[in-house]
Structure 1
Amino acid sequence: MAGRPGPWATGRFDVEGHRGAKGLVVENTLESFAAAYDAGVTGVELDVRLTADGALVVWHDPVLLAGKCRPTGPDLVGARVADLTLAQLRTVDVGSQTLPGFPEQQAAPGARISTLDEVLAHGRERAPHVWWTVELKVDPTDPGESATRRDLLERVLASLHAAGLERQCLIHSFDWAVLELSARLAPDVLRSALVESTVTWVPGSPLTGSVRVGETHDDVCAGAAAVGAHVISPEHVLVDADLVARAHAAGLAVLPWTVNDPARMVELVEAGVDGIVSDYPDRALATVAGRTPVGA
């Protein structure tokens, strides 16, 4: 663990809250991030999208979903984030509705979609030492999203620079072309390659940038290293001791997502991962406390 760049470089195990602390408070709200900081996380993961007027907002879904969004003005449910201005998005209450699949989730009534700058400023004040895993939401099969890839990345890098967090963050994406571009634009900023089971590492995948699965590379870890990643972040079902060993041999840290079952957390620690992303960072921190990952 120690020696690979990132929040684990000092030998500590990294526990990151997913979308703040999704299992505790409604996702991607300032209140959810506060819950993650209060739990004692070493990092937080968040999602970033571009609005129609070029603002960076912290939001996961490409559209405003009825189960998460409550209009307070015009009914914008079902609209694409990319087609709305920041002012339009600010009219939507995204904190009042909890998700049935997360029975412990608390509401944050009246919460609005935040900008990346707002979330970073809030976090720097509340928890200045946390690491930021910033997922750039780009679907390379969507012409609109692929066309704005560079603009999104440049704006994210500018926000991280303005906040003084360039040495305390990961540029994180399922679209590995984002990582290749980031390696050119900001070579000193760490990069994390997301991997989804049965989706990312398959022949003909549009997600792997210049890497061609089964042609230029046969192993997902080698492929991630080839696009300039410092971290491989697989869906946790893909992770075992063999994958961890291959990743570490390639110089990559391993950060699985999204791990909510304590027994699985223990398995992953024993497999030697460098950290985990969880909807329940309080549960994760309690589970991994006192356990020494392999290779620490």
Structure 2
Amino acid sequence: MQGHRGAKGLVVENTLESFRAAYEAGVSGIELDVRLSADGEVVVWHDAVLLTHKAWSETPGLVGSRICDLTLEQLRSVDVGSQTLEGFPDQRPATGAHIATLAEVLALAVEHPSDVWWTVELKVDPTEPTEVAGRRLLVEKVLECLRGAGLESQSFVHSFDWAVLEISRDLAPSVARSALVEAGVTWEPGSPWTGSVRVSETHIDVCAGAAAVGAHVVSPEHVLVDDAFVSRARELGLGVLPWTVNDPGTMRALVEAGVDGLVTDYPDRAAAALADVVGAGASRRADGRDGGR
């Protein structure tokens, strides 16, 4: 199981405290989002804009600005941890937390040496010219951070923009890649999200398209995943990592369908739900109900 933006359901997202909470919950992976600041630093934040319900600053004009228009120094002056989100009643604040760099977050792997994987989502919108212009630089700098942290063999380059994966494949073929898929957006005729792949023209389905851009894993919105999806991914040698799964019943169904992992806001719930599935599987094997599989 992978903690989404750290452990979003437990502590305010994409803060160092949230990533520590994910470790404490016993995750096998941590997912996070990265963007470029105006001065070319790789910063850990999901939204393109500093939103008022997530960010606060005494300095006028910062909240409401685009991340790419602010320097790291400006971003560090914004409080992104004190406001909890409606809809996440168990979320704890990370009071006074500021936007961190990717290097700072990956340093947690030194604090918590383990086999935890890092799923680094590069936020690039292929319909935004500014983001497209910085796409290659973002990939280069993320790969540099992974090398610097010694995590190249323990990380995924992960993106909805499959052109990111193609660049990463060319620059660092040994670093694993994960193709994100959003229902009704990614695999649609004329989609700008699929890199060099043309939906239903060059490839017949989303798994074939993901394999063609060099993905090792396909990471679909969980509503897209069923037994047939998992089987098709397996045919092409792809792992399956659905997002974002918060209902324990859905978690169990996905694991029984054969997914390789799942991304969740609530790694504590996932740990309990997956323990139930593992326990049930062990019981079936013990009394022969599992058919020896």
Q: Say yes or no: does 1:188 pair with 2:197.
A: no
Report how far residue 218 of structure 1 moved.
1.4
Q: Say yes or no: does 1:131 pair with 2:117.
A: yes
Q: Which residue of 2 is the match for residue 3 of structure 1?
A: none
Partner residue of 1:236 out of 199, 205, 222: 222
One-letter amino acid of the structure 2 residue matched with residue 175 of structure 1: D
Partner residue of 1:79 out of 57, 65, 71: 65
Q: Say yes or no: does 1:278 pair with 2:280.
A: no
Q: Which residue of 1 is the match for residue 133 of structure 2?
A: 147
Q: Which residue of 1 is the match for residue 44 of structure 2?
A: 58
1:91-110 CA-to-partner distances (Å, cap 9, x unmatched) read: 10000000011010000100
Report how far residue 73 of structure 1 moved.
2.9
Q: Say yes or no: does 1:23 pair with 2:18.
A: no
Q: Which residue of 1 is the match for residue 101 of structure 2?
A: 115
Q: Which residue of 2 is the match for residue 171 of structure 1?
A: 157
Count residues in correspondence.
282
Question: Take 1:124 and 1:232, find their aligned partners in 2: how far apart are those partners?
Answer: 28
Q: Which residue of 2 is the match for residue 265 of structure 1?
A: 251
Select the structure of larger CA radius of gyration: 2
Report how far residue 72 of structure 1 moved.
3.3
Question: Take 1:141 and 1:290, find their aligned partners in 2: how far apart are those partners?
Answer: 43
Report how far residue 291 of structure 1 moved.
2.5
Partner residue of 1:200 out of 157, 169, 186: 186
| Greater displacement, 177-186 / 284-293 | 284-293
Report how far residue 127 of structure 1 moved.
4.3
Deviating above 6 A after TM superposition, structure 1's stretches of 4 or more consecutive aligned residues are: 293-296
**Secondary structure of 2:272's aligned partner:** helix
**Unmatched tracts of structure 2, length 5 or more:** 282-289
Question: Take 2:191 and 2:201, find their aligned partners in 1: how far apart are those partners?
Answer: 12
Partner residue of 1:92 out of 64, 69, 78: 78
TM-score w.r.t. length of structure 2:
0.94
Question: Take 1:262 and 1:118, find their aligned partners in 2: how far apart are those partners?
Answer: 32
1:189-246 CA-to-partner distances (Å, cap 9, x unmatched) read: 0000000000000000000001000101111101100000000000000000100000
Considering fraction of residues, name the structure with more helix. 2
Q: Which residue of 1 is the match for residue 91 of structure 2?
A: 105
One-letter amino acid of the structure 1 residue matched with residue 16 of structure 2: L
Q: Which residue of 1 is the match for residue 286 of structure 2?
A: none
Report how far residue 56 of structure 1 moved.
0.6
Q: Say yes or no: does 1:255 pair with 2:211.
A: no
Question: Take 1:97 and 1:187, find their aligned partners in 2: how far apart are those partners?
Answer: 40
Q: Which residue of 2 is the match for residue 11 of structure 1?
A: none
Q: Say yes or no: does 1:45 pair with 2:45.
A: no
One-letter amino acid of the structure 2 residue matched with residue 215 of structure 1: E
**Secondary structure of 2:277's aligned partner:** coil
Question: Take 1:290 and 1:26, find their aligned partners in 2: how far apart are those partners?
Answer: 28
Higher relative contact order (CA 8 A, sep 6+): 1
**Secondary structure of 2:263's aligned partner:** strand
Question: Take 2:20 and 2:58, find their aligned partners in 1: how far apart are those partners?
Answer: 24
Two-structure CA RMSD over aligned residues (Å) = 1.4
Identity, in percent, stands at 69
Question: Take 2:78 and 2:244, find their aligned partners in 1: how far apart are those partners?
Answer: 27
Report how far residue 289 of structure 1 moved.
1.2
One-letter amino acid of the structure 1 residue matched with residue 106 of structure 2: L
| Greater displacement, 125-134 / 155-164 | 125-134
Q: Which residue of 2 is the match for residue 161 of structure 1?
A: 147
**Unmatched tracts of structure 1, length 5 or more:** 1-14
Report how far residue 77 of structure 1 moved.
1.1
